[in-house]
Amino acid sequence: MSKRFVCALLGAAILAAPAAAAGDPGHGKSRNTGKKVTFVFRGTFTAPGTVEVRSGNAHVRKGGFVGQKITFDLATARVVAADRNGDHKVDVADVGDGDAVLIQARITKGTKYTAPAEGETAEALVARKLIDRTHPPAGDQ
């Protein structure tokens, strides 16, 4: 009878060891450090793509972007604004200096603002969407 007990105990220990080694401490949630999220910047536009950030969503606030002048790459951004220059297309040229804007950008979660070194220019953030809140399209008024 003692041999059965020892064998059962040994068998249970062998079965439990791989389960403990393969345990997931994150409860099924993976920690993806490269995950991109939408940062929403609100501020004042200055050509050629600089925004003085006045507020934003939690990612913007926690990243320290509020109160900074951020440069955006608007080449591929969708622009939502009124056609102010009359060329029958809406683009960045329709957004004027001093306009209140909202810019959406997909950036790696947890990104913090870092001031450029003296004499260097800051790397432009790629914007997905620019909304001119001062001069919205005719249908949005």
For residue 127, give both structure tokens: 């914007």
Average pLDDT over residues 9-26: 58
Residue 131 pLDDT greater than 90, yes or no: yes
Considering the domain boundaries, does residue 133 fall inside one? yes
pLDDT band at 33 (very low <50, low <70, confident <90, very high): confident
Considering the domain boundaries, does residue 80 fall inside one? yes
Using only the alpha carbons of the chain, give its radius of gyration: 26
Asked whether the beta carbons of 37 and 106 are under 8 A apart, the reply is: yes
Number of other CB atoms surrounding residue 43 within 10 Å: 24
pLDDT band at 64 (very low <50, low <70, confident <90, very high): very high
Phi, psi of 128 (to 5 degrees): -95, -35
Q: 132 is in which domain, residue-wise?
A: 36-140
Higher-pLDDT residue of 11, 126? 126
pLDDT at 70: 95
For the beta sheet containing 50-56, the strands, ordered from the edge strand earlier in sequence to the opposite edge, are: 78-80, 129-132, 100-108, 36-46, 50-56, 69-73, 125-126
Considering the domain boundaries, does residue 51 fall inside one? yes
Considering the domain boundaries, does residue 134 fall inside one? yes
Structural domain count, the chain: 1
* Helix (H) / strand (E) containing 60: helix 58-62
* Helix (H) / strand (E) containing 15: helix 2-21
* Helix (H) / strand (E) containing 3: helix 2-21
Considering the domain boundaries, does residue 83 fall inside one? yes
pLDDT at 12: 64
Say what the pTM is.
Answer: 0.73
Considering the domain boundaries, does residue 4 fall inside one? no
Considering the domain boundaries, does residue 60 fall inside one? yes
Residue 24 pLDDT greater than 70, yes or no: no
pLDDT band at 32 (very low <50, low <70, confident <90, very high): low
Considering the domain boundaries, does residue 15 fall inside one? no
